Structure 1
Amino acid sequence: MGILSLFRRKPVETRSSGSGYTAQIMAARESYISGGSGIGELTATVQGCVSLWEGAFALADVQGTNMLTRAHMALLARAAALRGEAVMQITGDGLVPCADWDLSTRNGIPRAYRVSVSEAGGGSTRTVLAAEVLHLRIGSDMVAPWTGIAPLRRAPLTAELLHQVESALRDVYRDAPLGSLIIPLPEGSADDMATMRAAFRGRRGSSLVVEGVAQATAAGMNPNLGKSPDQLSPDLSKSMTRETLEAARDAICMSFGVLPGLMNKATTGPMVREAQRHLAGWVLQPLAELLAEEATAKLGAAVMIDVGRPLQAFDAGGRARALAQIIEAMGRAKELGLSPKEMESALLSVNFGGGDNLA
């Protein structure tokens, strides 16, 4: 080493960010090598759950901003359900959905984004600060808190099971000789039997194989004894495909926060209302609170999003009875001459007032 080494340029270190075109190619290659997986979103069960998320967010009451339109809310819900996160750029014309993005962080908090916006004539890439985008994330973990994880990615085994069962049933109903029979015919020449077999060949749901009476009798199927012809249709009941399919569907519904009873063909009205209440209260309203918190920080105004009221996700009869009892209790308290402080103490004892340190 000499003095000239001090003036040499150091090699530039480049790193892959884990997203973008190269990452997509690598993911596609991995899927090709390891086999199809994580494609449970192709099933009607998943799409039904996603539609519930999408419809609930489209109906939600948004206060404090007019940028979160119903179309944007539906896009956010669908992206969160299938991808686990959604990014929209804040512009003067409104929110712009982003098809793909890359970001840089500090202390695990996003600082800047490189977003890709889809256009009819070709997409464009833009670099924006974190304050210029709305980023909704669900299912984040401590390893990468700046990314979200979709419900299906959190339950890959169940998604794969549902996909395999429905694919197997599709293949059976597409390729199996359903409704086909083996029927006996009177003995004839070899040419006549070959001609008869060729006439039935390829006719699904009819007689695919023809055999002589002698062969049928030797096989224990004597046509003269009232023995029915042999069926070529596969017996799927022994494979427990129905039970497996129902169990996989129920598990997928639970991963999206949808009670399996909602999909039951024997469900009743109270069960439907309870399933809607559970979905709105334990799944969608927390997501709405996360989105409202993000919008409040980025849009500069207090944003509130309510999913429960538009969906009527509450017991209307129970609320009416509770209101009647509260009014009766207030009238009774007035008759007894209770002071406001005593009334407030009574409300705090049943968690009806603020400052009880229970919420």
Structure 2
Amino acid sequence: MFGWFKRQAVPQVETRSASSTGYTAQILAARQSYISGVSGLGELTAAVQSSVSLWESGLSLADVKGTDLLSRRMLALTARSLALRGESIWLIRDRLVPCSDWDLTTRDGEPRAYRVSIPEAGGARSDTVLAGEVLHFRIGSDVVAPWTGTAPLQRARLSADLLEQLETALRDVFRDAPIGSQIVPVPEGSAEDMASLRAGFRGKRGAALVIEGVAQAVGAGMHPQLGKGPDQLSPDLSDTLADKMLTEAKGAIYGTFGILPGLFNPATTGPLVREAQRHLAQIVLQPIANIMAEEATEKLGAGVQVDVVRPMQAFDAGGKARALATMIGALAQAKEAGIDGPTLQDALSFIDWQDE
């Protein structure tokens, strides 16, 4: 009982530093990124949504051979998920079921099992499946975590933040600034007359109006007739180069998604539009389609091909027609000259001709 009168031990203050590179820290960072969004408010801009729509429309046009599971609706959802999250998971059942959230275990850097959340109208349900039961599409993977993907905006977060800040600033200016308002000097009068005059001007001339009397203006050294015009309260944005900076920021976002910025130029003509379509289909979407085809071939057990270039007509139709005519003429001349067999194959391989 005498222990009650002893001084209680003072708790020791934790002085050890927590490591931010452990497995738990990585999991917490991944969850925080998922909850708060991997790309910030840049997703709310028209430039980002236009780029995502091009991915969505381009991939949904793809020709799929080898399976009926990759429907156009599924391809469109996958394209949007890849553009905004960098990865997409589908559970293989009698059809492909989308998964809204997941975690996984790996061995040698390859996924072994998944715990997936399947969205339902009454709330998501969870299921645990093996890696062979899901299609896991991902882009922008890093060697540190090859089992995850990264969205384009996450890889260019600084550019996304710049576009967000520019559009937010312009929105605030045109929402709060007294656009079209003026300082108008008027003769002195009674309080009632001045109040009614202010109310009349405020309803017709702009968001805000400052009215000063002639006597006050002259006393302050600003005669009403100086300048021969009323003073403007509208902000002058010409010196901020906001239009140029906004164009450059949008161009950076378009480039992040693999889209030529000239496609959205008001002066763009047909040849540049076709070149932008070819660039998007051949350099951006077709490699993604090849990755999806490899994943589907491995998990579905059948050879799957996904072609984006042909449905988007992402080629020079006139040049291809001329090349075909030249090829037919060359084959006819080769037949007349008696060139066939290995000699003809060597000639075809010289011009990179390949039979499927």
| Structure 1 equivalent of residue 40 of structure 2 | 38
Code of the aligned partner of 1:115 = V
| Structure 2 equivalent of residue 70 of structure 1 | 72
Q: Distance in 1 between matches of 2:219 and 2:337?
A: 97
Deviations 1:180-221 (A, max 9, x none): 010111133567546655665687716610112244456676
| Structure 2 equivalent of residue 334 of structure 1 | 335
**Cα distance, 1:331 vs. partner?**
1.4
Deviations 1:56-109 (A, max 9, x none): 1111111100011111111110000000000000012x0100000000001100
Give 3-state SS (helix, strand or coil) of 1:351's partner.
coil
Q: Distance in 1 between matches of 2:306 and 2:231?
A: 63
Give 3-state SS (helix, strand or coil) of 1:305's partner.
strand
Q: Residues 221 and 275 of structure 1: is their aligned pair in 2 closer, same or farther, counting only changes over 3 Å?
A: farther
Deviations 1:278-323 (A, max 9, x none): 0000000000000000000000110000001111111100100000
Q: Residues 220 and 61 of structure 1: is their aligned pair in 2 closer, same or farther, counting only changes over 3 Å?
A: farther
Give 3-state SS (helix, strand or coil) of 1:149's partner.
coil
Deviations 1:37-66 (A, max 9, x none): 722111011001100111111111111000
| Structure 1 equivalent of residue 250 of structure 2 | 249
Verify the 8 A CA contact 1:344 1:353 in the aligned structure 2: no
Give 3-state SS (helix, strand or coil) of 2:40's partner.
coil
Q: Residues 28 and 194 of structure 1: is their aligned pair in 2 closer, same or farther, counting only changes over 3 Å?
A: farther
| Structure 2 equivalent of residue 325 of structure 1 | 326
Q: Residues 48 and 37 of structure 1: is their aligned pair in 2 closer, same or farther, counting only changes over 3 Å?
A: closer
Q: Residues 29 and 283 of structure 1: is their aligned pair in 2 closer, same or farther, counting only changes over 3 Å?
A: closer
Code of the aligned partner of 1:268 = T
| Structure 2 equivalent of residue 186 of structure 1 | 187
Residue 85 of structure 2 is aligned to residue 83 of structure 1: yes
Code of the aligned partner of 1:255 = T
Verify the 8 A CA contact 1:185 1:213 in the aligned structure 2: yes
Q: Distance in 2 between matches of 1:100 and 1:84?
A: 13
Q: Distance in 1 between matches of 2:39 and 2:57?
A: 27
**Cα distance, 1:338 vs. partner?**
1.7
Verify the 8 A CA contact 1:196 1:210 in the aligned structure 2: no
Alignment of 1:56-135 (within 5 A): 56-92=58-94, 94-135=95-136
Code of the aligned partner of 2:74 = H
Residue 272 of structure 2 is aligned to residue 233 of structure 1: no
Verify the 8 A CA contact 2:56 2:80 in the aligned structure 1: yes
| Structure 2 equivalent of residue 5 of structure 1 | none
Code of the aligned partner of 2:71 = T
Alignment: residue pair count? 334
Code of the aligned partner of 1:344 = Q
Verify the 8 A CA contact 1:41 1:47 in the aligned structure 2: yes
Q: Distance in 1 between matches of 2:64 and 2:211?
A: 69
Q: Distance in 2 between matches of 1:117 and 1:131?
A: 17
Code of the aligned partner of 2:53 = S
Code of the aligned partner of 1:171 = D
Give 3-state SS (helix, strand or coil) of 2:268's partner.
coil
Give 3-state SS (helix, strand or coil) of 2:209's partner.
strand
Give 3-state SS (helix, strand or coil) of 1:39's partner.
helix
| Structure 1 equivalent of residue 4 of structure 2 | none
Verify the 8 A CA contact 2:39 2:84 in the aligned structure 1: no
Q: TM-score, normalised by structure 2?
A: 0.86
Verify the 8 A CA contact 1:183 1:211 in the aligned structure 2: yes
Code of the aligned partner of 1:61 = D
Verify the 8 A CA contact 1:181 1:206 in the aligned structure 2: no
| Structure 2 equivalent of residue 268 of structure 1 | 269
Code of the aligned partner of 1:120 = A
Q: Distance in 2 between matches of 1:272 and 1:216?
A: 58
Give the fraction of aligned pairs with identical amino acids, expressed as a percent. 60
Q: TM-score, normalised by structure 1?
A: 0.86
Give 3-state SS (helix, strand or coil) of 2:146's partner.
coil
Residue 297 of structure 2 is aligned to residue 288 of structure 1: no
Code of the aligned partner of 1:166 = E
Once the two structures are overlaid, the 10-residue window that deviates more, 216-225 or 304-313, is 216-225
Code of the aligned partner of 2:326 = Q
Q: Distance in 1 between matches of 2:324 and 2:171?
A: 53
Deviations 1:212-241 (A, max 9, x none): 224445667644466111111111111111
Q: Distance in 2 between matches of 1:23 and 1:141?
A: 14
Q: Distance in 1 between matches of 2:348 and 2:45?
A: 49
Verify the 8 A CA contact 1:178 1:204 in the aligned structure 2: no
Verify the 8 A CA contact 2:39 2:153 in the aligned structure 1: no
Q: RMSD between aligned alpha carbons?
A: 2.6
Code of the aligned partner of 2:229 = S
